[in-house]
Amino acid sequence: MPELPEAQSNLGRVREGALNRTVRAITLGETSHVDLPSEAERDRLVGHRFTETRRHGKTLFVGSASGPWLAIHLGMTGSLRVYDEGDAPDYARLTVEFEGDRRLAFRCPRKLGSVELVEDPETYVAEQGYGPDALDIDEDSFADTIGTSDGALKSALMDQKKLAGLGNLWSDETLFQSGHDPEAAGSDLTDGQLSDLHATMRAVLQGVLDTGANYEDLPGTWLIHRREDGAQCPRCPGTIRKRQVGGRSAHACDQHQG
């Protein structure tokens, strides 16, 4: 599932190819089970220009200072595609047609994403109750949030109300690189361990961002390359084991994360 780095990479495509163009129309593809703007909402954007993009956690925003904005959730398989007329991607659930040939499509094969029309990103984030963005949260706020949690670290890191942006993949990677058991309680960590966990989380997210979310370019010592039950740990003689933590799958080394 796309998380913070993947979401940011999608926004990069929009910034590079779809800003400062006048919207001529917004059309829908096959839409069953996909939440998309109504015809009246889509009409509000006709004649407008998208002039900026923003992101909070996994949520993408495309719009302008005066609004309205599109708030986009990629779901499990969603992506944003910028293309010229005639090169339309498959599974396009919503397409923004700009004057000229340029198009912006929301591609969502599994129909688990959504697009909403919102007035401004700040109000939307507050209404959804999202926690601070995982790349923006400072060390003290992180310690106050994660360090006071009595539940599993894995669950706390993935709770979008506590911290916005991490999902299954990069919470596992953060815990793997910092050496913590996914089921350990945040409240059991020392100040030094919380500081290290915060720094590791930021390094993981920034590392993925630096590759444009191209996993093949990530270091060979990362869990991402051995994320399967029974794999040899790339950091120690241990074995990667898969288990359930808080109803979600977790991959962790049975030695250095003990």
Mind listing the pLDDT tens digit for each residue in 186-216? 999 999 999 999 999 999 999 999 999 999 9
- Kindly report whether the peptide bond that precedes residue 68 is cis, defined as omega within 30 degrees of 0: yes
Residues (pLDDT < 50) of the chain are none
- 11: tokens are 């926004």
Provide the pLDDT for residue 194: 98
The answer to whether the CB of 63 falls within 8 A of the CB of 133 is: no
Provide the pLDDT for residue 34: 79
Domain 4-128 CATH assignment equals 3.40.720.10: no
Fold of 139-253: Helicase, Ruva Protein; domain 3 (1.10.8)
3-state secondary structure of 60: strand
Backbone angles phi, psi at 33, to 5 degrees: 70, 15
The answer to whether the CB of 160 falls within 8 A of the CB of 73 is: no
Cα gap 149→184, rounded to integer Å? 10
Full-model pTM: 0.94
Provide the pLDDT for residue 229: 97
Provide the pLDDT for residue 30: 81
Q: 60-105: per-residue pLDDT in tens? A: 999 999 999 999 999 989 999 999 988 889 999 999 999 999 999 9
Domain ranges for the chain: 4-128, 139-253
Q: What is the DSSP letter of 167?
A: -
Provide the pLDDT for residue 258: 75
* Residue with tokens 């706020």, as numbered in its chain: 141
